Amino acid sequence: MSSDYNFAYLDEQTKRMIRRALLKGVAIPGYQVPFASREMPMPYGWGTGGVQVTAACLLPEDTLKVIDQGADDTTNAVSIRKFFEKTASVSVTEETTEATVIQTRHRIPETPLTEGQILVYQVPIPEPLRFLEPRETETRKMHALEEYGLMHVKLYEDIARHGHIATAYAYPVKVEGRYVMDPSPIPKFDNPKMEMAGLQLFGAGREQRIYAVPPYTRVVSLDFEDHPFERGGAQQPCGLCAATDAYLDEVIMDDIGTRMFVCSDTDYCRERRDAGHVGEMGVPKAEDAA
């Protein structure tokens, strides 16, 4: 498809600026690098940060996958994928293993990433301390001084009040023993996957920040010795593919409140069903095709 815009929409000057920020981010894992985020032809909050990072990373030979809530076919994932098909003419895929660049909102794919793959996160609020301290001028100081006491007090208060750390998603992590980082609003179930072979890049468009976790970097979910991090996760297998190791969405089936639990990662679920796994509410693959 021809396009009046530069490859991947952004001009080369802007891409260079973003790449410089990305390199700085990779060099200082978990540190939020300010960058001159551009106004994109989609609203702030829809993934403008992720889109700019993806645009700066894409090469014509790349294969792109875009997921939102783990699924390739949610409206915004479709829209972002179309955007790059149109402006960069790259090939696209729904298969995690085939993709060289994966842009995601709110999930890490279940299939482990391999070396050479890039995972780009869309980030709404990059500052893990923001809800404890609204001022950017203050939180930057706190990071500089490695002053994370406030965060530990918050976690401690959760335990004192509820017996648990009452954070279910966007659960804060410490990267390579230095910066406390917001992993974006992924469920804490995904946190342990962040120590991976792939390169993880985070883009926050409205807040004008980029940060990164290089491959094989230590990423520790904050906790206490006597209250270790709990990953949480499904209480039952996926209704379609019987997976017990995946993060599940709860779907309301009827007006008397029957529930069904299915993989949020649609590609993982499809792959398992293709391999012959059948959940309690699914049907064997051959029958499905008929």
Partner 1 sequence: MYVAVKGGEAAIENAHSWLDEIRRGDTDVPELGIAQIRNQLALAVDRVMAEGSLYDPDLAALAIKQSRGDLIEAIFLIRAYRTTLPRFGASRPIKTENMACMRRISATFKDVPGGQVLGPTFDYTHRLLDFKLAAEGSAEPALKVPAQTDEVKPHITSFLNDEGLIQSEPQNDQTPPDLTREPLELPASRALRLQALTRGDEGFVLGMGYSTQRGYGRNHAFVGELRIGNVAVEVDIPELGFAVEIADIEITECETVNQFTGSKTEPPQFTRGYGLVFGQSERKAISMALVDRALRWKELGEDDTGAPAQDEEFVLYHCDNIQATGFVEHIKLPHYVDFQAELELVRKLRREANAAKEAAE
- Residues with a known catalytic role: 30, 238, 241, 263, 269
Task: Give the nearest distance from C-beta 195 to partner 1 in angstroms.
Answer: 20
Out of 264, 268, 272, 277, the only residue in the binding site for partner 1 (CB under 8 A) is 264
Task: Give the nearest distance from C-beta 37 to partner 1 in angstroms.
Answer: 7
- What ranges in 58-211 are assigned the alpha helix state H? 75-88, 136-144, 149-162
Kindly compute the dihedral angle of the four CA atoms of residues 282, 241, 93, 64, in this order, to the nearest 10 degrees: 130
Question: Closest CB to partner 1 among 97 and 208?
Answer: 208
107 binds partner 1 (CB under 8 A): yes
Maximum C-alpha span of the chain? 63
Out of 22, 40, 88, 129, the only residue in the binding site for partner 1 (CB under 8 A) is 40
Q: How many whole angstroms separate alpha carbon 64 and alpha carbon 79?
A: 13
Q: How many whole angstroms separate alpha carbon 148 and alpha carbon 35?
A: 24
Kindly compute the dihedral angle of the four CA atoms of residues 110, 111, 114, 117, in this order, to the nearest 10 degrees: -70
Q: From edge to edge, which strands make up the β-sheet containing 63-68?
A: 33-34, 209-213, 199-204, 118-122, 101-105, 63-68, 91-92
Question: Closest CB to partner 1 among 46 and 217?
Answer: 46
Q: How many whole angstroms separate alpha carbon 159 and alpha carbon 152?
A: 11
Out of 86, 114, 283, 284, the only residue in the binding site for partner 1 (CB under 8 A) is 283
106 binds partner 1 (CB under 8 A): yes
Out of 78, 92, 132, 150, the only residue in the binding site for partner 1 (CB under 8 A) is 78
141 binds partner 1 (CB under 8 A): no
**Residues 165, 172: contact at Cβ < 8 Å?**
no
91 binds partner 1 (CB under 8 A): no
Contacts to partner 1 by CB under 8 A: 5, 11, 34-41, 43-46, 48, 68-71, 73-79, 82, 106-107, 124, 135-137, 162-164, 166, 168-170, 185-189, 206, 208, 232, 239-240, 247-251, 253, 260, 262, 264, 266, 281-283
